[in-house]
Copies of this chain bind each other. A is one copy, B any other.
Amino acid sequence: MNLTVNQNVILESLVADNLVSDPSSARGRLLKEAARLFRDKGYERTTVRDLAAAVGIQSGSLFHHFRTKEEILKAVMVETIQLNTAVMQGAMDQAETDRDKLHALILSELESINGQTGEAMAVLVYEWRSLSKEGQEEVLALRDIYEQLWLDVLTSLAAQGVIRADPFVTRRMLTGALSWTVTWYRVDGGMTLSDLTGQVIAMLGLDQKPS
Which residues in A have some Cβ–Cβ distance to B below 8 Å? 40-42, 44-45, 126, 129-130, 163-166, 169-170, 172-181, 183-184, 196, 199-200, 202-208
The answer to whether B130 touches A165 (Cβ under 8 A) is: no
Chain B hits for A41, CB < 8 A: 129
The 4 closest A-B pairs by CB, nearest first: A205-B205, A176-B180, A44-B44, A173-B177
Copies of this protein in the assembly total: 2
The answer to whether A166 touches B129 (Cβ under 8 A) is: no
The prevalent SS among residues of A at the interface is helix
The answer to whether B172 touches A184 (Cβ under 8 A) is: yes
Chain B nearest Cβ from A160, distance in angstroms: 15
In the complex formed, the residue of B with least CB distance to A208 is B164
The answer to whether B44 touches A169 (Cβ under 8 A) is: no
Chain B hits for A166, CB < 8 A: 199
In the complex formed, the residue of B with least CB distance to A126 is B126
* A129 partner, pick from B42, B175, B180, beta carbons under 8 A: B42
In the complex formed, the residue of B with least CB distance to A182 is B176
Of A129, A173, A174, A204, chain B has the most CB atoms within 10 Å of the CB of A173
* A204 partner, pick from B130, B176, B184, B204, beta carbons under 8 A: B204
The answer to whether B180 touches A172 (Cβ under 8 A) is: yes
Q: A164-B208, A169-B203 are in contact. List 9 more A-B contacts (CB 8 A).
A: A44-B45, A45-B130, A126-B126, A165-B200, A165-B203, A173-B199, A176-B176, A204-B204, A205-B206
